[in-house]
Amino acid sequence: MKFQDLLAYKKSFSLAMEILEISKGFPKEEVFALTSQIRRSSRAVSSAIAESYGKRKYPKHYQSKLTDSDSENLETQTWIEFAEACEYITEEQKIELINKSEEVGRLLNYMINNPDKFGVVKD
């Protein structure tokens, strides 16, 4: 199995791409603030999943990278809240994005709590 086959990776990557498309409509004055932050954090979720998968031989590193991914996912939710508060996205868009992010969070927690199902070698 490749990291790209992981459901958490697929869903987080899809969410990051959706956020990219939506953020293209943000005002230009946000390019170095909200726009770059929400894009960075949403992409970091997927990249940390990939890194964790590469660290499967080292359980503590595996878990550390997944908790990093979970933290980036929560940061993304915060930026989504800001985007809605600034009226760059609708409440409906916010709810949809948050729901997708929460699903990613549940998948990450499953990976953290069930490392043996992902080929993690025991200490």
pTM of the model: 0.95
pLDDT in tens, 55-93: 999 999 999 999 999 999 999 999 999 999 999 999 999
Gap between the Cα atoms of 81 and 88, Å rounded: 10
Q: How far apart are CA 38 and CA 19, in angstroms?
A: 8
> Domain 28-114: which topology?
de novo design (two linked rop proteins) (1.20.1440)
Domain boundaries defined on the chain: 28-114
